[in-house]
Structure 1
Amino acid sequence: MENINWLQEVESRKEDLFKDLFRLLKIDSVRDDAAATEETPVGPGPKAALDEFLKMAQEDGFQTQAFGPWAGRVEIGAGDELMGILGHVDVVPAGSGWDTDPFEPQIINDRIYARGSSDDKGPTVGAYFALKLLRELGHTFNKRVHLIVGTDEESGWQCMDYYFKHAEMPDFGFSPDAEFPIINGEKGNVSAAIDTKDSQVLEGDLKLIEFKSGLRPNMVPESASAVLEVLKGDIDFQADFDQFLAENDLKGDLSVDGKQVSITVVGKSAHGSTPHKGVNGATQLGRFLSQYRFDDQAAENFVQVLSHELFEGFDGSKVGVSHHHDVMGDVSMNIGIANYDAEKGGHIDVNFRYPEGTEPDTMLGQMEKALGHYASLQVSMGHHKDPHYVPADDPLVETLLDVYHKQTGFEAHEQSIGGGTYGRLMPRGVAYGALFPDSIDVMHQANEFLAVEDLLRATAIYAEAIYRLTK
């Protein structure tokens, strides 16, 4: 099998690959806590996608095993060592701005459009298809291989918490949920909550009735909306808003109904680990509102912190947490959720991806100092994931980089990201594909797609990599 043309083998079976993938893409597997039950703890969609994946593998003759309603695995091979391949079938909310139905996959101009095509159903199915191909070609696996599929990667990773309480940890492996040539370093991940609850009365012209923006901490919110009540003064909101949109190349809507003003700003969504690639609707709307004065200290502080310390401070420097690591890079900061209610106050979720050399307790102290002039703000840190790194001279990393270089001719080098993948769960775990350096990254965005060429190339790379690691 040393001289196999892996890409040719995959291309000759591409219709079967598309068929497998489309089965999963048709399932709306967004987490839905409102519809959660004991049998579907993160909603019916993720569980339905998991069931379909295992059913597909069973139909193909693989041995499978379910782990409660949370996770499942496909098994092949024999031996003392265990290789893990970890993917997920849950997806982030579709959001707005799609040109097609996000759960009716279509191939348009050699791109597969659907929510989950790139993150992570496409890459996971590519890795699964690589196992099918190797089995068909007669490969004898000298290690056990577990393709493990979760249902809660985009939220709290409860699926993997459950799985690894009941199953063996792989000795090594990869997650097909990032980019090539490899991700052998992943930053830590923690969200800070900024809450405003002081209802001290101020001499303002407006009352902030509500402010809404964001779906998940790990997404740049595409849009934000606010409802205001005019208390006094004569403000030409439409003129102010038109000027703001023109100066900042934004879109939005504004309507006035008596004393009530409704405003929406539309930006651009992006993955929360790369906030600079998006246009954050929440902080942009905060900037617009910051020119006015509100009648409540909580509202005033909510708007001001959004528009100043949290606006485009992507490296965390405006809130005092910036830090650089020579291998893993810089801290990144995303404002994922920003909500305000006149009765309950405000809540802002600030998601950080941080390299080695800092940690959440330190960052909390730095934020409290940087935001100390806001008397009504309270800052707290949530659960965190530590940074993860597998050295470049590890045989796993060397093999995966060699396969990538051999098949693409591109430079193979180590790299770190802010995004978190299941690869970090394994002591010798990395992320491997499926995006290439020349791919267009639309994860977590409207009109998400995976290029057909990228899917075929990644599947071929996975096949040779698994072959090399288990021969």
Structure 2
Amino acid sequence: MNNYIRLYQEKLQLYEEQLMEDLAELVAIRSVRDEETKKPGAPFGNEIREIFDRMTAISERDDFKSTNFDGYAMHVEHGDCNEIIGILAHLDIVPEGEKKDWLFDPFTLTRHGDYLYGRGVNDDKAPALAAYYALKILRDLDFKFDRKVRIILGGAEETTWECMDHYFKHNAQPMMAFSPDGDFPIVHGEKGVLQGTFFQKIEPSADAYPHHLIEIESEKQRGYICERLRVVFESSYPMELKDLLEGAEETVIAGSYIIAFYKGDKALSRNPHKGENALFRFAKDLMAIENANGSLLKLKKLLIKYFCNDIHGENLGLFLEDKDMGITTFSIPYLLYQNKKLEIGFDYRYPKGQESKVAKRNLENFCEKNNLNFTIYKEFGLLYIHRESQLIQTLQQAYQNITGNTPECITKGGISYSRALQNCVAFGPTFPGDIPNTHKPNERIKLQTLYKAVMIYCETIRLLATKS
């Protein structure tokens, strides 16, 4: 086995400069989905079509066979066997945000210390090239494959995933696959996801109660728990109400109106336990308001009975625990009350043992009891590949052969590209302790992480593509 590792290392050292040049060319393309420039052959816009063409040119330079599927996706392949091993990556990126927040130009590959910086350098352009160069190294070392290897590259992973719907209308599913779009060691389980919205029309009360709810604003987003709330009250006794709003970061009195600002601690919606929802601070203050009716009373009852401090969905009958995948999470990413309409976003993630149809039935029951409606914004079935499967056993062997460490299998609440395939798991490139700033300013990848990932992928492809 040491001979294999030595061969990989020698070839990687030979290709390092070319790998950096190819990565610089890919990073330079702002491959963000652009509806304004979409057209036949470029369904996600000109920039994503351009990066597919660039990757095609790289593969043609290296004498690989590549095929573009109408600008939705492409693949690079090696071998003529019937059985297929897949490697699923993507070439589209999220927008860079404010350039002033970056240390370097996000579309110029920059080496600084031990890191490479640039938008997409970790998600997912460098990992895609790591897999590509692993295949190139094995091909150039003349390894004999018993299975065809396909590097499948999508163009809409960051948006709709319709790239994979189109791709698999034209291609068979691989028998086994991995996606270099996650973490090491092996992410063999990802929770099911239901993201949606509760909504209700609430007429304000005409009764002579002293405090009335006028408006609630928060950022309408899905990826994080509710971090900020702006709540507007009208009150006959504004100073009295202000004293009750102890959880507010700031309160402003303007005549009979009180504007209260609530701030939580930011956390991903899939990890609500890692932060504090601003809604919980607001709900705690509502408990202290006794003279309430109409919209204020309805919201008070709803938040306190069902949502306040419940991050597992117990109050909605959604709680479940699995010995392999852990427990459910339930978070509120935003809360709105405007123009007599209440809107509450939710993000529910569940392990095996739960079924989507059962969870939806519980949501329906909850809505019927409380005169609410709900819609599902996004839904993903859970992913779970058993540790004893051939895929997991092979990935473990490859990881151990290169690193000398026995890899653990982990499960997460996140959504990786692996779910687009039937027998696929996320496998690298990020190692524990890495801080890649994915989707944030100063996205980066450690050079040693990238090179080690190439080595691991060399060994992984060799083992997966060899029947013995």
1:80 maps to 82
Q: Is the 8 A contact 2:280 2:309 kept in 1?
A: no
Distance apart, 1:384 and its partner CA: 3.3
Range 25-34 or range 391-400, more displaced: 25-34
1:366 maps to 362
The match for 2:417 among 422, 433, 439 is 422
Q: Is the 8 A contact 1:276 1:312 kept in 2?
A: no
Partner deviation per Cα, 1:240-271 (whole Å, 9 max, x = no partner): 999745xxxxxxx888888685858474354x
Letter of the 1:348 partner, please give it: I
Distance apart, 1:56 and its partner CA: 3.5
1:350 maps to 346
1:183 maps to 187
2:60 maps to 58
Aligned-partner Cα distance in 1 for 2:24–2:348 = 34
User: In the alignment, does 2:373 pair up with 1:378?
Assistant: yes
Letter of the 1:416 partner, please give it: T
2:202 maps to 198
Letter of the 2:329 partner, please give it: S
TM-score, normalised to structure 1, is: 0.80
Letter of the 1:321 partner, please give it: L
User: In the alignment, does 2:124 pair up with 1:120?
Assistant: yes
Secondary structure, counterpart of 2:332 in structure 1? strand
Q: Is the 8 A contact 2:356 2:381 kept in 1?
A: no
The match for 1:213 among 214, 219, 228 is 219
Q: Is the 8 A contact 1:182 1:433 kept in 2?
A: yes
Aligned-partner Cα distance in 2 for 1:264–1:412 = 43
Range 283-292 or range 21-30, more displaced: 283-292
2:324 maps to 327
Secondary structure, counterpart of 2:159 in structure 1? coil
2:23 maps to 21
Q: Is the 8 A contact 2:226 2:335 kept in 1?
A: no
| Residue segments in structure 2 that go unaligned for 5+ positions in a row | none
- Residues 254 and 269 (structure 1), Cα distance of their counterparts in 2 relative to 1, 3 Å cut: farther
Letter of the 2:5 partner, please give it: I
Aligned-partner Cα distance in 1 for 2:124–2:116 = 13
Letter of the 1:429 partner, please give it: C
Letter of the 1:332 partner, please give it: T
Aligned-partner Cα distance in 2 for 1:239–1:445 = 39
Aligned-partner Cα distance in 2 for 1:198–1:268 = 29
Letter of the 2:359 partner, please give it: M
Range 297-306 or range 187-196, more displaced: 297-306
Letter of the 2:21 partner, please give it: K
User: In the alignment, does 2:105 pair up with 1:108?
Assistant: no
Letter of the 2:141 partner, please give it: L
Aligned-partner Cα distance in 2 for 1:200–1:385 = 37
Letter of the 1:326 partner, please give it: K
Distance apart, 1:103 and its partner CA: 4.5
- Aligned residue runs from structure 1 range 33-432, under 5 A: 40-42=42-44, 45-94=47-96, 98-100=101-103, 102-201=106-205, 203=209, 205=211, 208-209=214-215, 211-215=217-221, 217=222, 219-220=223-224, 223-224=227-228, 226=230, 228=232, 230=234, 232-235=236-239, 244-245=248-249, 261=259, 263=261, 265=263, 267-268=265-266, 270=268, 272-277=269-274, 283=279, 286=282, 290=286, 309-310=306-307, 313-336=310-333, 338=334, 340=336, 342-343=338-339, 345-369=341-365, 375-381=370-376, 384-432=379-427
- Residues 214 and 342 (structure 1), Cα distance of their counterparts in 2 relative to 1, 3 Å cut: closer
Aligned-partner Cα distance in 1 for 2:440–2:285 = 26
Partner deviation per Cα, 1:305-339 (whole Å, 9 max, x = no partner): 66874466443334331111122222233434x26
Q: Is the 8 A contact 1:63 1:75 kept in 2?
A: yes
Identity %: 28
Q: Is the 8 A contact 1:220 1:269 kept in 2?
A: yes
TM-score, normalised to structure 2, is: 0.81
Distance apart, 1:466 and its partner CA: 0.8
Q: Is the 8 A contact 2:195 2:346 kept in 1?
A: yes
Partner deviation per Cα, 1:107-165 (whole Å, 9 max, x = no partner): 33423344433332332222122122223333343321111111222333211111111
Aligned-partner Cα distance in 1 for 2:36–2:212 = 34
Distance apart, 1:167 and its partner CA: 1.6
Range 44-53 or range 186-195, more displaced: 44-53
Partner deviation per Cα, 1:244-302 (whole Å, 9 max, x = no partner): 45xxxxxxx888888685858474354x444444565x646755885797999567766
Partner deviation per Cα, 1:351-371 (whole Å, 9 max, x = no partner): 222222111222233345556
Aligned-partner Cα distance in 2 for 1:121–1:137 = 24
Secondary structure, counterpart of 2:74 in structure 1? strand
Aligned-partner Cα distance in 2 for 1:18–1:332 = 40
Range 385-394 or range 355-364, more displaced: 385-394
Secondary structure, counterpart of 2:312 in structure 1? coil
Distance apart, 1:462 and its partner CA: 0.6
Aligned-partner Cα distance in 2 for 1:148–1:165 = 14
Aligned-partner Cα distance in 1 for 2:236–2:197 = 33
2:462 maps to 467
Aligned-partner Cα distance in 2 for 1:263–1:348 = 18
| Residue segments in structure 1 that go unaligned for 5+ positions in a row | 246-252
Letter of the 1:73 partner, please give it: H
The structure having more radius of gyration, on CA atoms, is 2
2:4 maps to 3
Q: Over the residues paired in the alignment, what is the CA RMSD in angstroms? A: 3.9
Letter of the 2:350 partner, please give it: Y
2:435 maps to 440
Q: Is the 8 A contact 2:229 2:279 kept in 1?
A: no
Distance apart, 1:102 and its partner CA: 4.6
Secondary structure, counterpart of 1:149 in structure 2? strand
Partner deviation per Cα, 1:387-417 (whole Å, 9 max, x = no partner): 3333322222212101111222222233332
